[in-house]
Structures are given as C-alpha cells and as structure tokens.
C-alpha cells in the first residue's frame, strides 16, 4: 500500500479540498466493523452521528441520545478508522445550556473518543459565541444549519430556507460561524439556491444532505445509503444497495438449513 493511501485526512486537507474544488465524501458509522469498511472505501470524513438514536437505538428522534452513548459509539468507530477524518456529533443539551457546559462536554468527547472534531447544531448569535469559545481553546468544530434534527420539536422535519428572508439569514449565520472558527458546515434540507449562496459566501467547506448539488461535499447516513433502513425514502436519498433484502435472505437460508439438519 502506498504512503498516499494510508495518509490521514486532516482538517487542513479538508479546507484544501474546498479551495481546489474537490468534492468531499462523508458517511456516518456507528461501530467498528462498518467504520473499517467505509474507511477502506476511501471516504474523507466519517461522522458518528447522533442519528444513531434513530438507526441504532430505534428512537423517533435524536433527542434521547446522551453524551455517554456518543462516546461509546465514537470510541468504537475510532478503533476502525485509520485514514478518514473522524467527527462526532454532540447530542441534545450537551452544549446549549452554557458555554462552560459546551466546553466540558465537547472536551470530554474529544478526549475519550479520540475524534478529530465535534459537530454542533444551530446558527444563532449565542451559538456562534459558543463556537468561538470552543475553537479558541482548541476544539475543532463542524457547524450545522438548515433543518437541525435536535430542533425537530419546533421546526418539524421540513425544508428550511424557502423564504427569502430566512435564506438570507442563513447566509449571515454561515458567515458568523465561519468567523467564529468552524472549519466546515453541514447544510441539511435547504433548497439548492440558498445552499449555493452559502457555499459561495464562505471559505470553509459545505457538506450537503438534501441541499442540492452545489455544496462542496455530501453526507449520507450509512444504513440509508446501503438500503438497510426499510421504509425510509426521502426525496434526496439515493440507495446504493439493498442490503436489507440480502440480510433477510441470508438469515432465512441459514434458518432453512438449521431446520433441515
């Protein structure tokens, strides 16, 4: 294996990809086995998403996920990732209450998982101040605008930024988060036009999910990408396999052989 093949992806490299207009590939992972596979497949960033609340734990939203659960899964993924940049989501109420709470929890997640960065949601002035405090003390931050799953109770799961004023506000929020030190920005469920405006306005990479083709990269939840999450089929999702069918077929064939002796 060449030296280039095993070179670790760094934050500096992710920023360079934006400047060189190289698209950034991001997928989620929640355990060591899938972490090894996606890392070997050459993705640029592995995200341990709090979406594990939905796809691993079976919750209706990400809200019940705890810091301890993120550390457990983040540590497992760290043991499987040797090349990609590893980012861990900060769960609901682990960083919103105060800047001090954010510092303690984000620092703990970095320290106990070995992740390269953490991700936080929201673009308010208060959140920008929190991001600034975190980055000032050396905690790398990925920010998240548009539909923010931890705000599902107030926003609902729907596209954000269709209103011109709201779209303009998101551009301002993106610039504020960049100024606060975030090195990348996830844009979720945003129309293509405002997503493109944000991407062109900031010098940090934008990672889209349901935000059109103009973003600097794309992220998908791995079980959705692999067709493991039956019944979940939003418009933006392209399934690259039907592993749910293959798993059921394999287990059924195993059961037939056991029963037949």
Give the pLDDT of residue 220.
97
Supply the range of the domain harboring residue 149: 11-225
Within a 10 A sphere around the Cβ of 218, how many other Cβ atoms? Answer: 20
Measure the CA dihedral 244/210/59/116, to 10°.
100
Q: CATH code at 20?
A: 3.20.20.60
**DSSP label at residue 218:** E
Give the pLDDT of residue 55.
95
Residue 5 lies in a domain: no
Give the pLDDT of residue 219.
98
pLDDT-based confidence at residue 153 (cuts at 50, 70, 90): confident
Contact 159, 119 (CB under 8 A): no
| Number of domains present in the structure of the chain | 1
**Which residue of the set 121, 173, 178, 188 is catalytic?**
188
pLDDT tens string 31-68: 999 999 999 999 999 999 999 999 999 999 999 999 99
Angle subtended by helix axes 67-78 and 32-40, to nearest 10: 50
Owner of token pair 């979720």: 188
Cα–Cα distance for residue pair 180/133, rounded to 1 Å: 8
Specify whether 126 is catalytic. no
pLDDT-based confidence at residue 1 (cuts at 50, 70, 90): very low
Residue 83 lies in a domain: yes
Structure tokens at 249: 């077929």
pLDDT at 131 over 50: yes
Residue 208 lies in a domain: yes
Give the pLDDT of residue 4.
47
Contact 226, 246 (CB under 8 A): no
**DSSP label at residue 118:** E
pLDDT tens string 174-220: 999 999 999 999 999 999 999 999 999 999 999 999 999 999 999 99
Mean pLDDT across the stretch 164-170?
93
Give the pLDDT of residue 236.
86
Residue 67 lies in a domain: yes
Residue 55 lies in a domain: yes
pLDDT tens string 76-107: 999 999 999 999 999 999 999 999 999 999 99
What does the DSSP assignment read for 45-99? EEEE-TTHHHHTT--SSSTT--HHHHHHHHHHHHTT-SSSEEEEEPPTTSSSS-H
pLDDT exceeding 70 applies to what percent of the chain? 97
Cα separation values, 165 from 161, 189, 238, Å? 8, 16, 30
Residue 173 lies in a domain: yes
Residue 151 lies in a domain: yes
Give the pLDDT of residue 247.
97
Owner of token pair 């037939």: 256
Mean pLDDT across the stretch 229-255?
93
pTM greater than 0.85 (yes/no): yes
């Amino acid at each position: 294996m060449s030296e280039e093949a095993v070179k670790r992806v760094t934050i500096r490299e992710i920023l360079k990809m934006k400047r060189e207009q190289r698209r950034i590939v991001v997928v989620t992972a929640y355990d060591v086995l899938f972490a090894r596979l996606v890392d070997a497949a050459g993705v640029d960033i592995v995200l341990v998403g709090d979406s594990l609340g939905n796809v691993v734990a079976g919750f209706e939203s990400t809200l019940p996920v705890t810091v301890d659960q993120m550390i457990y899964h983040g540590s497992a993924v760290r043991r499987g990732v040797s090349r990609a940049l590893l980012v861990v989501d900060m769960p609901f109420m682990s960083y919103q209450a105060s800047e001090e709470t954010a510092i303690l929890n984000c620092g703990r997640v970095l320290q106990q998982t070995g992740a390269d960065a953490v991700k936080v949601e929201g673009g308010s002035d208060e959140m920008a101040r929190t991001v600034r405090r975190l980055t000032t003390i050396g905690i790398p931050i990925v920010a998240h605008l548009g539909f923010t799953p931890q705000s599902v109770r107030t926003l609902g799961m729907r596209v954000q930024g269709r209103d011109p004023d709201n779209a303009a506000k998101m551009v301002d929020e993106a610039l504020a988060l960049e100024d606060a030190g975030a090195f990348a920005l996830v844009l979720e469920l945003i129309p293509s036009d405002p997503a493109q405006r944000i991407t062109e306005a900031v010098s940090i990479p934008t990672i889209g999910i349901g935000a059109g083709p103009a973003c600097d990269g794309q992220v998908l939840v791995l079980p959705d990408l692999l067709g493991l999450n039956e019944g979940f089929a939003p418009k933006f999702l392209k399934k690259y396999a039907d592993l749910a069918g293959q798993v059921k077929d394999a287990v059924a064939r195993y059961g037939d052989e056991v029963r037949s002796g």
